[in-house]
Chains A and B, each alone.
Chain A
Amino acid sequence: MSEMNAMNCAEFGDVAAELALGVLTGRERADALAHLEHCDACRERVRQLTATGEQLLALLPAAEPPAGFETRVMERLGLAEPSRRPVRPPRERARGRAGTKRTFGKINSGTRRMLAAAAVAVVVAGSVLGGWGLHAAASAPAKPALTTAALLSADHQNAGEVFLYNGDPRWMYMSVDLDDSGNGTVTCQLIGADGRVTNVGSFRLSDGYGSWGSPSWVGGSALVGARLLAANGTVLATASFPKLSRTYPADSA
């Protein structure tokens, strides 16, 4: 809140490991996250500690699951019968330096680790992103309805990706890699088929790299694109969406 209560880097360093491991709670956690919003160095510190924490999990030994496990998983996924949907080719993913790409999760105890990582990558008011974040699952899974579109810079270079999930709940996510854009706040806009432009959020780029997401977005299936604006209003990158649908085309067959 006030400057007097703000956590400084040294104080943050005392709790960074707990934050990275997802075990920091209460006021300390809130103060630590607030500090991260404006401290790139500490974000990097937590990113490294989060990666360290993830490596600890390599210690956990493998174990043979009970008989029938594989079948039960397939049934749970509704894949016990052959899929009628075609396999889409894996997207090109390896592009440039290390980064983060995240989805959403409700705040609950088990996602604290993800939230710590999220704070490293994005600062999204009112939304929650995770390191390997997950949307908290309910029971029966819905069919995926994810639309992806390449984000292209003004000179038509690949500058990231936009993901729109038109399921329930909706979410969107954007990862940006604009080499020459340095640090600064950028704004994401969605463009409707009627030309209407809606500001949906802002986030910071660090050395041209950043990611951002929102647990909801407006525009229904009538969105045609997205764009990314610099603080001065310059359009940094754009994306064009294919027609959004709630199911894959093959499902309608």
Chain B
Amino acid sequence: MRRAAVGKSVQTMGNAAEGVPDETLLAGLGAGDADLAVAFVRRFQRVVFGVALSVTRDAVTAEDVAQQAFEQAWRHAQVYDSRRGTVRAWLTTITHNLAIDVLRARTSAPVDPAELPALLTAVTDTPERVAVARDSAAGVRRALAELPSTQARAVAMAGIYGMTARQIAATEEIPLGTAKTRIRDGMLKLRAAFLPEDVGDE
């Protein structure tokens, strides 16, 4: 009976939550409100699962990571700080960190290098991805595309798959110093591309 009631309210909430700010849903999740919590999960589950799947490349593992991510969001909703970034970014980072943990526990080779070009290029142009793309993602893609490909790969390996410079060096068959330089130079260029003009004023 209760389930039926929940289902009804959840359905209602799912529909009605469209205009509810992310922060409000997060606050509801943190407060243990089932309706707001399910609306939160519904709003972000594709993003969270997508991050988990992209990094772990295994649907079962990705589901576990995604569930953990929502659990962490629930536990820590109270300390989310909107000044630090959006709820989406916060949740994405939570998910990514959990996924990296899984990767590192699983294997010494976090990513098959053959998959990297696909990652770097495929995010740009499939209809589904375009549909979910946000302005910030478009900017990131543009900035990444302007990097030398070796730097873009190094940045993606480190930033997305959590690979150390040593692992990148081994994967790319380059000296360690070269791997470190590629990460550094790539990231500095990306930072310059992303930063607003007034950075440094704060």
Contact = CB atoms under 8 A, between A and B. Distances in A.
Interface of A: 13-18, 20-25, 44, 48-49, 51-66, 69-70, 72-74, 76-77, 79-83, 85-91, 93-103, 108-114, 131-132, 134-135, 137, 141, 143-144, 146, 148, 163, 173, 175, 248
Interface of B: 2-3, 5-6, 9, 23-24, 26-28, 30-38, 41-42, 45-51, 53-55, 59, 62-63, 66-68, 70-72, 74-76, 78-85, 89-90, 92-94, 96-102, 104-105, 119, 122-123, 126, 128-129, 132, 134, 136-137, 139-141, 144, 155-156, 158-160, 162-165, 180, 183-184, 186-188, 190-191, 194-195, 199-200, 202
Given A144-B75, A148-B78, A48 B195 contact: yes
Given A14-B180, A61-B129, A101-B81, A88 B94 contact: no
Contacts of B32: 77, 79, 83, 85, 143-144, 248
A62 B100 contact: no
Contact of B34 (A20, A79, A109): A79
Closest 8 A-B residue pairs measured CB to CB?
A: A110-B101, A101-B81, A17-B187, A90-B27, A65-B49, A62-B50, A63-B50, A58-B137
A216 to B, nearest CB: 16
A146 B188 contact: no
Given A59-B140, A83-B33, A110-B100, 5 more contacts: A48-B199, A52-B194, A56-B190, A59-B137, A137-B75
B41 A70 contact: yes
A144 B166 CA distance: 40
Given A59-B144, A141-B75, A109 B49 contact: no
Given A74-B34, A79-B32, A137-B68, A58 B140 contact: yes
A61 B131 CA distance: 10
Contacts of B134: 58
Contact of B97 (A101, A114, A135): A114
Contacts of B141: 59
